[in-house]
Amino acid sequence: MKLLTCPVNGTRPLSEFVFGGEIRNMPDPAQASDSAWAAYVYNRTGAPGLKKEWWYHSPSGTWFVAERNTLTDQVARTYLYGQEDKA
């Protein structure tokens, strides 16, 4: 069974978690050009590597950040958003 560590609830089975995609910075909708906005809406960093991702622990309703290598599927660390320093 694969496991993932929720920063609030500790290590739990992966089946309790939902993947929320890579963390991405939204451009200012008022300033961005149409093509920059379309690129933000659709394009993704598809190549493998260490990525910061949103994950959701569904029984407790906790959203948090996981740093995961998408090639090896190894999670380097997890922490609540904005609490990177404490991780």
Partner 1 sequence: MPLRLLKYALSRKHPAPRFFRDCTEPKKSYDAVIIGGGGHGLAAAYYLAKDHGITNVAVLEKGYIGGGNTGRNTTIVRSNYLTPEGVNFYDASVKIYEGLSEELDINLFYSTRGHFTLAHTESALRTMRWRAEVNKHVGVDSYVVGPDEISKACPQLDISCSGKAPIVGALYHGPGSIARHDAVAWGYARGADSMGVEIFQNTEVTGLDIQSGKIKGVHTSRGYIATNKVLSAVAGFTPRITNMAGVDTPIVIHPLQACVSEPMKPWLNTILVSGSLHVYVSQSSRGELVMGSSLDPYEVHSTRSSLDFVEGLTSHMLDMFPFLSNVKIVRQWAGMADMTPDFSPIMGTTPVEGFYLDAGWGTWGFKATPISGKTMAATMANDQAPELIKPFRLSRFEDYDLTGEKGAASVGH
For partner 1, the binding residues (CB under 8 A) are 1-2, 15, 18-19, 34-35, 38-39, 41-48, 70-73
Q: How far is the CB of 43 from partner 1 (least distance, A)?
A: 4
**DSSP summary character for residue 34:** H
Residues 6+ away with beta carbon under 8 Å from 35:
none
Q: Which is nearer to partner 1, 73 or 85 (CB)?
A: 73
Tokens standing for residue 62 = 């906790």
- Which residue type does 23 have? I
Q: How far is the CB of 75 from partner 1 (least distance, A)?
A: 11
